[in-house]
Amino acid sequence: MWVEVLFFAAARDAAGRADARLELPEGTSAERALELLGSRYPNLHDLVPSLRLAVNEEFVAAELVLRDGDCLALIPPVSGG
């Protein structure tokens, strides 16, 4: 299956891109996808513990199982306001 990945703020700078497509085995969790992204983009690795995950524009628990076509967003610590 394929998921779309969105990078923001410090995660975007670290990955060197705003988005990516990621092929994953069925049953992959959001947390596992994040680990894979940390390996694919080495500069992202150190940020991984600080990231929150959103799927299809909602925050999700790390163990959520992804589905084909999902949009996974990497959310660094927010600082709006």
Partner 1 sequence: MQERANETLRVQMTHAAIDLAALHAEIGDPGAGAVLAFVGTVRDHKQGRRVLGIDYTAYEPMAHKLLQRIGRDILARWSLRRVILVHRLGRLEVGEASVAILVASPNRAGGFDALREAIESLKRDAPIWKKERFEDGEVWVQEGS
Report, in Å, the least distance between residue 77 CB and partner 1: 5
Report, in Å, the least distance between residue 67 CB and partner 1: 18
DSSP codes of every residue in 11-55: HHHHHTSSEEEEE--TT-BHHHHHHHHHHHSGGGGGGGGG-EEEE
Tokens 């680990």 locate to 35
For residue 53, the surrounding DSSP H or E stretch is: strand 52-55
The rounded Cα 6 to chain-centroid distance in angstroms is 7
Counting contacts by CB under 8 A, is residue 49 touching partner 1?
no
Counting contacts by CB under 8 A, is residue 36 touching partner 1?
no
Counting contacts by CB under 8 A, is residue 64 touching partner 1?
no
Report, in Å, the least distance between residue 37 CB and partner 1: 16
Residues engaged in binding partner 1 (CB under 8 A): 6, 8-10, 13, 50, 54, 57-59, 73, 75-81
